[in-house]
Amino acid sequence: MARMAPLSPMFFFLVLSTTSPAACVGAILKNGLGRTPPMGWNSWNHFGCGINETIIRDIADAMVDTGLAKLGYEYINIDDCWADFNRDSQGNLAANASTFPSGIMALADYVHGKRLKLGIYGDAGVRTCSKLMPGSLGYEEQDARTYASWGIDYLKYDNCHSRKTSPITRYTKMSEALLNSGRNIFFSLCEWGVDDPATWAGGIGNSWRTTVDIKDKWESMTNNADQSNKWASYAGPGGWNDPDMLEVGNGGMTTEEYRSHFSIWALVKAPLLIGCDIRLMSNETKEILSNQNVIAVNQDELGVQGHKVQQDGYLEVWAGQLSGGRVALVMWNRGPAGASITASWSNISLSLSAVVDAHDLWTDEVTSSVQGSLKRDVDSHACKMYILTPK
């Protein structure tokens, strides 16, 4: 079995760096946001451009009514296609009059009335990726002030139609504009990982995309997990690697595959942004998205991104430190048949003599006094997820 060298707790951050001679969590954006990964919902994966203010209001209602809001899902994020094709006579962005007739400020008031937060979408080029609304290139200060005046809490900032200018320059301008806007706005860079934003986005954004857009397919989800994995050492409180939004509940994967998706996203401290229509979600989808044990791993205050520590073909072990000396562990079978996976303490920052209680986060069963390694049978395209608590 191919294994990484043993990791000591002191050096748990210093893993899988391919670009930096001294990889570590970098500067933190001074807006005080994102101390844990953001949780919420985004419109794109399910609705694409087919959005309107009624859908957004209904989603906000459902977030509360389903109990998801109480679990920490707080952002209701509108993606592309919300604005008019052109700016208004003063050069301001304006909501599409046919789909958002009440305007964004009124929608923000409604969402805030639910004790939730409203996010919006922009682009660091001249037009957004849909080409249906203006980008913010050259209008950063003006648009940031507009967002602040509307009560926006989160900005997803895309990278289309950039005129081939430096993404660092363009994203820095919007970051500074948001800081000067008079409102604390979570800044999510959507640069798709093209220019390795993990190496420079700390201090500019609260999260940065490390991958291409996710699709509701097993191969896409696993590829995004792998692509984001190598940047684990750059994430931490205030700035997170983003392998893109959740596809759980959209119908393209099995329940076990969605459970694996949610488990890995939680372990790697990815933003947990639901991408399905929560008004119509199945009981299985709600059960996955509502697992408080798994959410707690994602929201752990220590903020260490878990990563792949052991691999034997399709059989993998991912792990990450948690507060209180605990370790989060995912045993992931990405192969076509069930198999046995053994997670060795030597690969997950535990001494071989350590004795732990292993809490299965999906069945809630606890196995006491485990020493040296943990062995489990794991079904195809499924995972087992544990918190290991030293005794």
Report pLDDT digits (tens) over 318-343: 999 999 999 999 999 999 999 999 99
58-72 residue pLDDT tens = 999 999 999 999 999
Handedness of CA 187, 190, 195, 196 (dihedral sign): positive
15-34 residue pLDDT tens = 333 333 234 566 899 999 99
What is the mean predicted confidence (pLDDT) over 111-136?
98
Residue 46 to residues 51, 181, 333: CA-CA distances in angstroms? 10, 31, 27
pTM of the model: 0.93
Q: What is the pLDDT of residue 24?
A: 55
286: CB partners within 8 A, 6+ apart: 66
- pLDDT grade, residue 290 (50/70/90)? very high
132-180 residue pLDDT tens = 999 999 999 999 999 999 999 999 999 999 998 999 999 999 999 999 9
Q: What are the residue numbers of the active site?
A: 158, 213
Reduced DSSP (H G I as helix, E B as strand, rest coil) percent helix, strand, coil of the chain, to 5: 30, 25, 50
What average pLDDT does the chain have?
Answer: 93
172: CB partners within 8 A, 6+ apart: 204
DSSP string, 296-328: HHHT-TT-PPPEEEEEETTEEEEEEE-GGG-EE
Number of H helices, E strands in the chain: 9, 17
What is the mean predicted confidence (pLDDT) over 41-65?
98
- pLDDT grade, residue 3 (50/70/90)? very low
What is the mean predicted confidence (pLDDT) over 196-205?
97
In percent, the amount of the chain with pLDDT more than 90 equals: 92
| CA 213 from centre of chain | 12
In angstroms, the CA 238 to CA 305 distance is 12
pLDDT at 11 over 50: no
Q: What is the pLDDT of residue 301?
A: 97
Q: What is the pLDDT of residue 27?
A: 86
pLDDT at 5 over 60: no
